Amino acid sequence: MYDLFNAVQNQKILIEVEGLSTNVTAGLSLSESNIQPSNYLFSDAGMNAHKGEPCKSIAASVLLRKLRWSTLGLQFDWSKRNYDTSLPHNKIPDLLCQLAKKMAGPAMPVGDEFQPEAAIVNYFGPSDMLGGHLDDMEADWSKPIVSISLGCKAIFLLGGKSREDLPIAMFLRSGDIVLMSGQARECFHGIPRIFTDEESADVSSPTFTILKCRRSTYLGVH
Protein backbone atom coordinates (compact mmCIF):
# COMPACT_ATOMS: atom_id res chain seq x y z
CA MET A 1 0.00 0.00 0.00
CA TYR A 2 2.80 2.41 0.87
CA ASP A 3 4.43 1.74 -2.51
CA LEU A 4 1.20 2.63 -4.31
CA PHE A 5 0.66 5.92 -2.46
CA ASN A 6 4.32 6.83 -2.91
CA ALA A 7 4.10 6.06 -6.64
CA VAL A 8 1.07 8.35 -6.99
CA GLN A 9 2.89 11.21 -5.27
CA ASN A 10 5.84 10.77 -7.63
CA GLN A 11 3.60 10.43 -10.72
CA LYS A 12 4.88 6.97 -11.58
CA ILE A 13 3.33 4.24 -13.68
CA LEU A 14 3.01 0.51 -13.15
CA ILE A 15 4.53 -1.45 -16.01
CA GLU A 16 4.32 -5.11 -16.91
CA VAL A 17 7.43 -6.26 -18.73
CA GLU A 18 7.98 -9.80 -19.96
CA GLY A 19 11.52 -11.01 -20.59
CA LEU A 20 13.29 -7.86 -19.44
CA SER A 21 16.63 -7.28 -21.13
CA THR A 22 19.76 -6.07 -19.35
CA ASN A 23 19.48 -2.50 -20.63
CA VAL A 24 15.90 -2.21 -19.39
CA THR A 25 16.69 -3.57 -15.94
CA ALA A 26 19.62 -1.18 -15.68
CA GLY A 27 17.31 1.70 -16.51
CA LEU A 28 14.96 0.55 -13.76
CA SER A 29 17.83 0.25 -11.27
CA LEU A 30 17.01 -3.40 -10.68
CA SER A 31 19.32 -6.37 -10.89
CA GLU A 32 18.52 -9.24 -13.26
CA SER A 33 18.53 -11.62 -10.30
CA ASN A 34 15.34 -9.95 -9.06
CA ILE A 35 13.56 -10.18 -12.41
CA GLN A 36 11.19 -12.98 -13.31
CA PRO A 37 9.13 -13.39 -16.51
CA SER A 38 6.07 -11.12 -16.36
CA ASN A 39 6.88 -8.50 -13.72
CA TYR A 40 4.99 -5.51 -12.42
CA LEU A 41 7.18 -2.55 -11.51
CA PHE A 42 6.60 1.09 -10.62
CA SER A 43 8.66 3.33 -12.86
CA ASP A 44 8.90 6.84 -14.30
CA ALA A 45 6.45 7.67 -17.07
CA GLY A 46 9.06 7.51 -19.84
CA MET A 47 10.46 4.11 -18.93
CA ASN A 48 7.82 2.10 -20.84
CA ALA A 49 9.04 3.31 -24.25
CA HIS A 50 11.74 0.69 -24.82
CA LYS A 51 11.81 -0.49 -28.44
CA GLY A 52 11.15 -4.14 -28.93
CA GLU A 53 10.22 -4.79 -25.30
CA PRO A 54 6.68 -6.11 -24.69
CA CYS A 55 5.33 -3.68 -22.12
CA LYS A 56 1.95 -2.68 -20.70
CA SER A 57 1.49 0.25 -18.35
CA ILE A 58 -1.06 2.06 -16.21
CA ALA A 59 -0.71 5.22 -14.15
CA ALA A 60 -0.40 4.70 -10.40
CA SER A 61 -3.07 7.38 -9.89
CA VAL A 62 -5.53 5.28 -11.93
CA LEU A 63 -4.79 2.24 -9.78
CA LEU A 64 -5.33 4.25 -6.60
CA ARG A 65 -8.71 5.43 -7.87
CA LYS A 66 -9.72 1.79 -8.41
CA LEU A 67 -8.73 0.83 -4.86
CA ARG A 68 -11.78 -0.09 -2.78
CA TRP A 69 -10.44 -1.86 0.30
CA SER A 70 -7.38 -3.19 2.07
CA THR A 71 -6.82 -5.14 5.28
CA LEU A 72 -4.64 -4.84 8.36
CA GLY A 73 -4.02 -7.79 10.65
CA LEU A 74 -5.93 -10.95 9.76
CA GLN A 75 -6.67 -11.22 6.04
CA PHE A 76 -10.29 -11.31 4.93
CA ASP A 77 -11.50 -13.53 2.08
CA TRP A 78 -14.29 -11.57 0.41
CA SER A 79 -15.32 -14.49 -1.80
CA LYS A 80 -16.08 -16.62 1.28
CA ARG A 81 -16.79 -13.68 3.64
CA ASN A 82 -14.46 -15.21 6.18
CA TYR A 83 -11.13 -14.49 7.83
CA ASP A 84 -8.41 -16.80 6.54
CA THR A 85 -5.95 -17.38 9.37
CA SER A 86 -3.79 -19.56 7.11
CA LEU A 87 -2.65 -16.50 5.12
CA PRO A 88 0.48 -14.64 6.24
CA HIS A 89 -0.30 -11.33 7.92
CA ASN A 90 1.20 -8.62 10.08
CA LYS A 91 -0.20 -7.32 13.34
CA ILE A 92 -2.23 -4.13 13.34
CA PRO A 93 0.14 -1.15 13.83
CA ASP A 94 0.70 -0.41 17.52
CA LEU A 95 -0.59 3.19 17.48
CA LEU A 96 -3.79 2.14 15.72
CA CYS A 97 -4.19 -0.76 18.12
CA GLN A 98 -3.80 1.54 21.14
CA LEU A 99 -6.35 4.00 19.73
CA ALA A 100 -8.87 1.22 19.07
CA LYS A 101 -8.43 -0.14 22.61
CA LYS A 102 -9.01 3.31 24.12
CA MET A 103 -12.07 4.07 22.00
CA ALA A 104 -13.61 0.63 22.64
CA GLY A 105 -13.19 0.99 26.41
CA PRO A 106 -16.71 2.33 27.19
CA ALA A 107 -18.27 -0.73 25.52
CA MET A 108 -16.11 -3.32 27.29
CA PRO A 109 -16.90 -5.08 30.59
CA VAL A 110 -14.93 -3.89 33.61
CA GLY A 111 -11.50 -5.50 33.62
CA ASP A 112 -11.74 -6.65 29.98
CA GLU A 113 -9.59 -5.04 27.28
CA PHE A 114 -10.43 -4.84 23.60
CA GLN A 115 -7.93 -6.78 21.47
CA PRO A 116 -8.26 -5.77 17.80
CA GLU A 117 -7.16 -8.57 15.48
CA ALA A 118 -8.25 -7.23 12.11
CA ALA A 119 -9.07 -3.98 10.37
CA ILE A 120 -10.78 -3.53 7.02
CA VAL A 121 -10.09 -0.21 5.30
CA ASN A 122 -12.77 0.98 2.85
CA TYR A 123 -11.89 3.71 0.33
CA PHE A 124 -14.52 5.94 -1.30
CA GLY A 125 -14.09 8.15 -4.35
CA PRO A 126 -16.23 11.22 -5.21
CA SER A 127 -19.20 9.22 -6.55
CA ASP A 128 -18.89 6.10 -4.38
CA MET A 129 -21.28 4.87 -1.72
CA LEU A 130 -21.68 1.86 0.55
CA GLY A 131 -25.06 0.14 0.67
CA GLY A 132 -26.75 -1.02 3.85
CA HIS A 133 -24.96 -4.03 5.33
CA LEU A 134 -24.14 -5.89 8.54
CA ASP A 135 -20.66 -6.48 9.94
CA ASP A 136 -21.44 -10.11 10.71
CA MET A 137 -18.16 -11.89 9.90
CA GLU A 138 -16.86 -12.11 13.47
CA ALA A 139 -17.44 -15.06 15.77
CA ASP A 140 -18.02 -12.87 18.85
CA TRP A 141 -20.61 -10.14 18.34
CA SER A 142 -20.40 -9.09 21.98
CA LYS A 143 -17.21 -7.18 21.17
CA PRO A 144 -17.54 -3.71 19.60
CA ILE A 145 -16.34 -2.40 16.26
CA VAL A 146 -14.33 0.83 16.21
CA SER A 147 -14.96 2.76 12.98
CA ILE A 148 -12.58 5.65 12.20
CA SER A 149 -13.42 8.19 9.47
CA LEU A 150 -10.64 9.95 7.56
CA GLY A 151 -10.62 12.42 4.67
CA CYS A 152 -13.81 13.97 3.32
CA LYS A 153 -17.03 14.47 5.24
CA ALA A 154 -19.78 11.89 4.75
CA ILE A 155 -23.31 10.88 5.71
CA PHE A 156 -23.50 7.72 7.83
CA LEU A 157 -26.83 5.90 8.12
CA LEU A 158 -27.53 3.62 11.08
CA GLY A 159 -30.68 1.56 10.65
CA GLY A 160 -32.22 -1.30 12.57
CA LYS A 161 -32.16 -5.08 12.45
CA SER A 162 -34.30 -5.00 9.31
CA ARG A 163 -33.65 -3.14 6.06
CA GLU A 164 -37.16 -1.71 6.38
CA ASP A 165 -36.32 0.15 9.61
CA LEU A 166 -35.95 3.91 9.19
CA PRO A 167 -32.25 4.82 9.59
CA ILE A 168 -30.73 7.61 11.66
CA ALA A 169 -28.46 9.95 9.66
CA MET A 170 -25.15 11.14 11.12
CA PHE A 171 -22.71 13.66 9.67
CA LEU A 172 -19.13 12.36 9.89
CA ARG A 173 -16.05 14.55 9.70
CA SER A 174 -12.44 13.51 9.33
CA GLY A 175 -11.28 12.13 12.67
CA ASP A 176 -14.75 11.13 13.90
CA ILE A 177 -15.06 7.69 15.47
CA VAL A 178 -18.21 5.57 15.60
CA LEU A 179 -18.31 2.87 18.27
CA MET A 180 -20.76 0.11 17.37
CA SER A 181 -21.57 -2.18 20.28
CA GLY A 182 -24.49 -3.99 21.87
CA GLN A 183 -27.61 -3.94 19.71
CA ALA A 184 -25.89 -1.66 17.18
CA ARG A 185 -23.73 -4.64 16.16
CA GLU A 186 -26.88 -6.18 14.66
CA CYS A 187 -28.02 -3.07 12.79
CA PHE A 188 -27.73 -2.32 9.09
CA HIS A 189 -25.60 0.70 8.24
CA GLY A 190 -24.08 2.36 5.19
CA ILE A 191 -22.62 5.46 3.53
CA PRO A 192 -24.98 7.01 0.94
CA ARG A 193 -22.94 10.13 0.21
CA ILE A 194 -19.58 11.81 0.68
CA PHE A 195 -18.79 15.51 0.25
CA THR A 196 -15.77 16.43 -1.86
CA ASP A 197 -16.38 20.14 -2.54
CA GLU A 198 -13.83 22.58 -1.12
CA GLU A 199 -16.36 24.40 1.07
CA SER A 200 -17.21 21.19 2.93
CA ALA A 201 -13.64 19.93 3.18
CA ASP A 202 -11.94 19.73 6.59
CA VAL A 203 -8.75 18.42 5.01
CA SER A 204 -7.29 18.46 1.51
CA SER A 205 -8.40 14.98 0.51
CA PRO A 206 -10.31 13.79 -2.57
CA THR A 207 -11.45 10.61 -0.82
CA PHE A 208 -13.29 9.38 2.24
CA THR A 209 -11.88 6.42 4.15
CA ILE A 210 -13.39 4.22 6.85
CA LEU A 211 -11.10 2.05 8.93
CA LYS A 212 -12.91 -0.53 11.07
CA CYS A 213 -10.98 -2.26 13.84
CA ARG A 214 -12.53 -5.46 15.10
CA ARG A 215 -11.89 -8.60 17.10
CA SER A 216 -12.59 -11.70 15.03
CA THR A 217 -11.64 -14.68 17.27
CA TYR A 218 -12.09 -16.37 14.62
CA LEU A 219 -14.86 -17.01 12.15
CA GLY A 220 -13.00 -18.22 9.14
CA VAL A 221 -10.61 -20.70 7.60
CA HIS A 222 -8.22 -22.23 10.14
Query: Which amino acids are annotated as binding site, given as ranges?
Result: 133, 135, 189
Angstrom distances, CA of residue 98 to CA of 54, 63, 94, 108, 113: 48, 31, 6, 15, 11
DSSP per-residue string spanning 143-201: S-EEEEEEESEEEEEE--SSTTSPPEEEEE-TT-EEEE-GGGGGS-EEEEEEE-SGGG-
Angstrom distances, CA of residue 102 to CA of 57, 116, 143: 44, 11, 14
Cα distance from N-terminal residue to C-terminal residue, the chain: 26
Annotated binding site for Fe cation: 133, 135, 189
